[in-house]
Amino acid sequence: MVSVSEALDLIHAHVTAVSTQIVPLEEAPGRVCAERLFARYDLPRFDNSAMDGYAVTMADAGAVIHAQPTLYAGDACEVKVQKGLGVRIMTGAMMPEGADAVIPIEETEQTDEGVRLPDTIRRGANIKKRGEDVAKGDLVVERGDEISAYTVGLLASQGVTHLTVYRRPRVTVFATGHELRMHFERVEAHQIYNSNAPTAVARAAELGCEALFSGATADTLESIKAHIESALGSDLIVTSGGISVGDADYTLQAFEELGMQTLFHKVEIKPGKPTTLGRIGKTWVLNLPGNPAAAAVNFELFGRSIVHRLRGLNAPYLAPITTKNARDYRVKKGRPTVLIGKFDGERFEILQKQGPGMVRPMSEADGFIVTDGVVSDLEAGHTVRMIPLRGELRAREAVEIFTV
């Protein structure tokens, strides 16, 4: 049995990124960049006006000038500014030669003689300088950065049409248990619906994977092996159930007989002690416990970390939010314990009703904390570290996740 920290260290030390592909820029959001991209052009590409106004020289402070025809954004700039002669200019238009500043229209006065300027003109006022946003040669996207809509905008400003990204990791999920039926099947009085597999498929998809449910197996060694063999083209296989010590718990045996190399078997955590991680060839295997909440929180700790590494993220570590506990809560000492709860932006409130076999609490939760196994009294105001369930926070280096 390993500690939570040891399990996470093993994941980050051994799991590596999947292969890459080239995609159009418009299809890149949510993908992870697999190359370093540098600016091809200055941004702005030229000095331009930040206001609608007049491009003028400082020598004309307090004077009346004549204004040349208006320059608009996108116009070729073929005029010059000199003493007594300015240019009416619109926002985004290229600054003409000789101009020291742009004076907003509302700070000028129209007279019979021309345009009167204010007594003081500050050099560079209301001018956006070439390269002040991005300079040619700047690193704009690092390998391992997740592409967002705003990254797309930045790359579009550089004329990038395609980029190399890591492909979406392929995750195959199957469940074991003769008592289980899928939500689209008829259920008898002695049976239950399988919630673990749909949850794992949906969560893997939310985390940026191509997720597939390959079905539920019978509780036989042969059936489980057949499902494993059909899934070995995946990057990650996720199972739930069948890894304890019951008479019909064949999952771990089936994987081992097919050559799985085990990185860890059993984690010092409550709930989810039987959680196991191994590998068959290039395919990672995460065996989760059968209880729904136990399977879910262990996927959040270990499955999410595996996915981060498979995706090639340069910030693959779970990053908690440091906040305060909302109400007094007593937790049993001895083993690190996962407690799920709601977060209102200021306080984390542990759900009073939660247990390893429950389904509903995870649908209501915003995040969870992991106690260190020593702390027992979580009083109101106690500092806690919450790992979000809705949205993602990630760190480039390992950070403390335990609530002490």
- The per-residue pLDDT for range 193-209, each reduced to its tens digit, is 678 899 999 999 999 99
Question: What is the torsion angle, in degrees rounded to the nearest 10, for the CA atoms of residue 185, residue 186, residue 188 and residue 189?
Answer: 100
Do 174 and 263 reside in the same domain of the chain? yes
**Percent of the chain at pLDDT above 70?**
95
> Do 179 and 307 have their domain in common?
yes
CATH number at residue 61: 2.170.190.11
Q: Are residues 10 and 34 in the same domain?
A: no
Q: Answer yes or no: do 397 and 333 share one domain.
A: yes
- Same-domain pairing of 269 and 145: no
- pLDDT tens digits, 208-258: 999 999 877 877 889 899 999 999 999 999 998 876 655 446 888 899 999
pLDDT for 178 beyond 70? no
| Nearest alpha-carbon partner for 164 in 39, 41, 38, 37 | 37
Looking at the fold, whether 231 and 179 belong to one and the same domain comes out as yes
User: Mean pLDDT lowest for which of 24-28, 129-133, 237-241, 314-318?
Assistant: 237-241
Domain of 147, in residue numbers: 20-43+133-166
Based on the domain organization, do 33 and 161 belong to the same domain?
yes
pLDDT at 64: 97
The number of domains in the chain is: 4
- Residue 243: per-residue pLDDT: 67
For residues 8 and 25, state if they share a domain. no
- Please report, for the domain that includes residue 192, its CATH number: 3.40.980.10
Residues 28 and 138 in one domain: yes
Whether a cis peptide bond, with omega within 30° of 0, leads into 44 is yes
Do 186 and 262 fall within a single domain?
A: yes
In this structure, the answer to whether residues 198 and 297 fall within a common structural domain is yes
Q: pLDDT tens, 320-347?
A: 999 999 999 999 999 999 999 999 999 9
Each residue's pLDDT tens digit, 289-325: 989 999 999 999 999 999 999 999 999 999 999 999 9
Task: Indicate which CATH number applies to the domain containing 338.
Answer: 2.40.340.10
| Residues 52 and 174 both lie in one domain | no
How much is the pTM? Answer: 0.90
Q: 324-333: buried (b, 16+ CB within 10 Å) or exposed (e) per residue? A: ebbeebebee
Domain edge (last residue) among 143, 166, 189: 166
Average pLDDT, the chain: 94
Question: Residue for token digits 């907003």?
Answer: 104
Q: Examine the fold and report which residue of 145, 166, 187 is the final residue of a domain before the chain moves on.
A: 166
